[in-house]
Amino acid sequence: MVMTTDTEQFTLEDFMKNPPENMEWVDEKLVEKTGMTLRHSEIQSRLSRYWGNYKSESGQGGEVYVEMPCRTQKQGRRPDVSYLTPELLERYRNEPTLPQSPPLVAEIASPTDVAEELLAKAQEYLDSNCQEVWLVFPEGRRILILTENKTIAFQSGDSISTQVVLEGFKIAVDELLG
């Protein structure tokens, strides 16, 4: 579910300078991120921990974030989970908002999310320097990975791995979804 806020004077530049908590800037309006459940938060936390542990253990460095504000070509977003490479971290660590999409993003579907909207959001990230998007559907126990050139579907019983970013990361779908 999405709640909009009356923001006659609030612009994308304002979002970039001072992104409000739990808000995205979509279609020239501040939109509150709502509809998240305990299950959503559990998977978000789990994926953040797994990516974070892996980037440290593999020596790839960088950092993993939850709800990190970023800018796409036309919106201000807060991906559920994202990974920044060491280079991006070095360059933008002290900025209030990443001025592009992170290279690796995960969006976890809430019961109120519409698949078409999540797919459009994934494409928006990919069009803004993201290299890989994970769309996680907890209720259907499926995960889609989208890159510039392909979309791969995984389901319960499968092992899933990163395709472009955070090279070598692998996990069972059932372990991630619990």
pLDDT tens-place string over residues 37-63:
899 999 999 999 999 999 999 999 999
Distant-in-sequence, close-in-space partners of 86: CB < 8 Å, separation ≥ 6: 60, 61, 62
- What is the spatial distance between Cα 6 and Cα 136, in angstroms, rounded to a whole number? 31
Q: What is the pTM of this model?
A: 0.92
Burial of 135 (0-12, 13-18, 19+ CB in 10 A): buried
* Separation in Å, CA 64 to CA 9, 97, 108, 158, 160: 32, 15, 15, 24, 18
**DSSP H helix total and E strand total for the chain:** 5, 13
Residue 33's pLDDT is 85
| Amino acid letter, 153 | A
- What is the spatial distance between Cα 150 and Cα 120, in angstroms, rounded to a whole number? 15
* Residue 57 token pair: 């253990």
Residue 5's pLDDT is 46
Residue 20's pLDDT is 94
Cα Rg, the chain, nearest whole Å: 16
pLDDT along the chain (178 residues), means of 10: 53 94 92 86 97 97 97 95 97 96 96 90 97 96 97 98 96 96
- Is the separation of the CB atoms in 64 and 51 below 8 Å? yes
Residue 56's pLDDT is 97
* Residue 131 token pair: 């290299």
